[in-house]
Chain A
């Protein structure tokens, strides 16, 4: 297997081999899951197989995380430049882009041409949406890079889930405002994922639109012009979804609505668990303190990290947003989720279980130590939470 050699400051030579090198191709293959269900349905005639990817996502993935456990290995800093430059890793992020389109087309074709029961039809639309939600993850990895080619690929892949505003919203909005009450993409203590979704989805779009409008105004252009990068991606979404409607008829209307909502729901789920309750404090000058490693929840679980381009090493991502996925690092004593993302999502979907598991973890963090004034709390739950923990509101 390919290795990287470097010399430590003390003169010692080191050789690093990325044991996950080939396993990263899981992030590329994962979005093709709808075809697994389609193939088994075609082979057996049993429509229930179409729901297999739901089982893989919500049951097998958390189980795999539990079974395979965690990986705390980091590449030595001395080889990171070589690792970042290794084109194999970025090739995977390019290769997955067309697969997201193919997966949507395949699922739409099957839903539009087979005589499916209503539940199989809905299930297939949700499965397709989950796959396209991973497209937001692909767009996330690509959209953080400087090269125009990679940013353009981000805009293209984000057209699949109709979320073209994401890379502007995420890079320029979320990274700036993360873990503050101003951020629609950071969840608050006591805020259920369902309440969060209703704040996050419109809030993220509005923030992206405002950022792009500012940029275009500085350039003397209208926000309603072809220079608007959000509209560029949305135009491609329109072509794709209109094309599917023309090809497969009115059935595509419910199919695409469900697909889009469930794609967005994947991002909502990730955003919800990534910064729950964490708060950057205000400094004397009125600005929020810089984002620190303890302002993100992390997970080192192997399986879910392999299908999400290492997204769960989230503190390092916020400290160094341009760092490529293969180089993201684990650090000791960071806020840690009880499981990988897929298992954490399941907890989040049942709010009382989520609060039970996470509020305790949140308040036990070394920088909080039970002090509610250092927590991002849902304003509607503020009084209740302060009373519950016997503290006076600041």
Chain B
């Protein structure tokens, strides 16, 4: 399980924990997030911008 970080605001998507508020359950892979996923905190970085944390 990996973590991916938003390069703008530092939001971290943890595959292990998911993101309860956003409705992504624990174990959700980053790969399986929708293609139009944007950073839940800053909304200006897209899925492809996220970097492995």
Contacts and interface: CB of A to CB of B under 8 A. Distances in A.
Interface stretch (A69-77, A240-248, A305-313, A316-324): A316-324
Which size class do A's interface residues fall under?
A: 10 to 19
Nearest to B41: A146
B42 interface: yes
Contacts of B46: 287
17 contacts: A172-B38, A175-B44, A215-B21, A215-B22, A216-B23, A218-B24, A219-B23, A287-B46, A290-B44, A291-B44, A318-B44, A320-B8, A320-B9, A320-B42, A321-B42, A322-B41, A322-B42
Contacts of B38: 172, 176
Contacts of B41: 146, 322
Interface string A77-103: 000000000000000000000000000
B7 to A, nearest CB: 11
A171 B22 contact: no
Given A216-B23, A219-B23, A321-B42, 5 more contacts: A175-B43, A175-B44, A176-B43, A218-B22, A320-B42
Interface in B15-53: 20-24, 38, 40-44, 46
Interface string A310-352: 0000000011111000000000000000000000000000000
B23 A218 contact: yes
Interface of B: 8-9, 11, 20-24, 38, 40-44, 46
Interface string A345-364: 00000000000000000000
A217 interface: yes
Contacts of B21: 215
A349 B17 CA distance: 50
Nearest to A229: B21
A175 B42 CA distance: 8
Given A320-B8, A322-B9, A172 B23 contact: no
B22 A172 contact: no
Contacts of B40: 172
B44 A215 contact: no
B1 to A, nearest CB: 19
A237 B15 CA distance: 37
Contacts of A291: 44
A311 B8 CA distance: 19
Contact of B43 (A172, A217, A218, A287): A172
Given A172-B38, A176-B38, A319 B44 contact: yes
Given A172-B38, A176-B38, A321 B43 contact: yes
B22 to A, nearest CB: 6
A163 B9 CA distance: 26
A186 to B, nearest CB: 15
Given A172-B38, A320-B8, A322-B9, A217 B44 contact: no
Contacts of A219: 20, 23
Given A176-B38, A320-B8, A322-B9, A171 B43 contact: yes
B43 to A, nearest CB: 4
Nearest to A321: B42
Contacts of B11: 146
A323 to B, nearest CB: 9
Contacts of A287: 46
